[in-house]
């Protein structure tokens, strides 16, 4: 496959990942437009992208899959304890969920670094004596999500 096609596919992947917003793009800015590729080849490349999107998601990295708010019939997971309350679907904690301010001493090394990253990136912020999720956030596991919300180790 010629380099022009690969560059177009890379550009399209970056556009889609940025639009979905599940992950931060660390390899720079998304160019405003792609290299020149003929319309028939764009159709071929979009077919390749669909296959890539499915494979990447199957391997556990839903980079191109948007976070969708649940429908009323959806199964939600709840975690409550110590004044905190989180709600999510699979391992996404939704915007507006509340997390406990304190981390129990036995979990400081396990939980605090994760919370510090979320606070530094603006995903969680302190409000009225608790942390509030300012946006939906995808965790690697239900246990990690529960631990961050509860301020202690937890099985998700």
Segment 111-152, tens digit of pLDDT: 888 889 899 988 899 998 889 999 888 887 788 888 898 888
- As a whole number of Å, the end-to-end CA separation of the chain is 44
pLDDT at 37: 82
Q: What is the pTM of this model?
A: 0.52
Tens of pLDDT, residues 77-123: 677 777 777 766 567 788 899 998 888 888 778 788 888 989 998 88
Cα–Cα distance measured from residue 144 to residue 148, given in angstroms and rounded to the nearest whole number: 6
Q: What are the residue ranges spanned by the domains of the chain?
A: 3-58, 77-150
Eight-class DSSP state of 22: S
Average model confidence (pLDDT) for the chain?
A: 81
DSSP 27-67: S-PPPSSPPP--HHHHHHHHHHHHHHHHHHHHTT--TTSPP
pLDDT at 15 over 80: yes
pLDDT at 70 over 60: no
CA count, 13 A, side-chain hemisphere, 19 = 8
Q: What is the mean pLDDT of residues 41-70?
A: 82
Cα separations in angstroms, 48 against 6, 7, 42, 44: 11, 13, 10, 6
Tens of pLDDT, residues 20-43: 887 777 766 666 676 678 888 888
pLDDT at 131: 92
Cα–Cα distance measured from residue 126 to residue 138, given in angstroms and rounded to the nearest whole number: 19
pLDDT at 155: 73
Cα–Cα distance measured from residue 96 to residue 79, given in angstroms and rounded to the nearest whole number: 14
């Amino acid at each position: 496959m010629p380099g022009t096609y690969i560059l177009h596919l890379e550009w399209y992947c970056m556009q889609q990942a940025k639009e979905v917003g599940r992950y931060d793009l660390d390899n720079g800015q998304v160019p405003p437009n792609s290299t020149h590729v003929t319309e028939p080849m764009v159709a071929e490349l979009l077919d390749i992208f669909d296959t890539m999107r499915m494979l990447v998601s199957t391997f556990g990295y839903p980079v191109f899959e948007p976070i969708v708010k649940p429908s009323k019939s959806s199964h939600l997971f709840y975690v409550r304890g110590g004044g905190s309350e989180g709600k999510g679907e699979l391992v996404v904690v939704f915007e507006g969920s509340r997390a406990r301010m304190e981390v129990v001493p036995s979990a400081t090394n396990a939980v605090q670094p994760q919370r510090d990253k979320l606070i530094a990136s603006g995903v969680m912020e302190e409000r009225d004596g608790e942390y509030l999720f300012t946006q939906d956030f995808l965790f690697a596991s239900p246990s990690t999500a529960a631990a961050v919300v509860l301020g202690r180790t937890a099985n998700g």
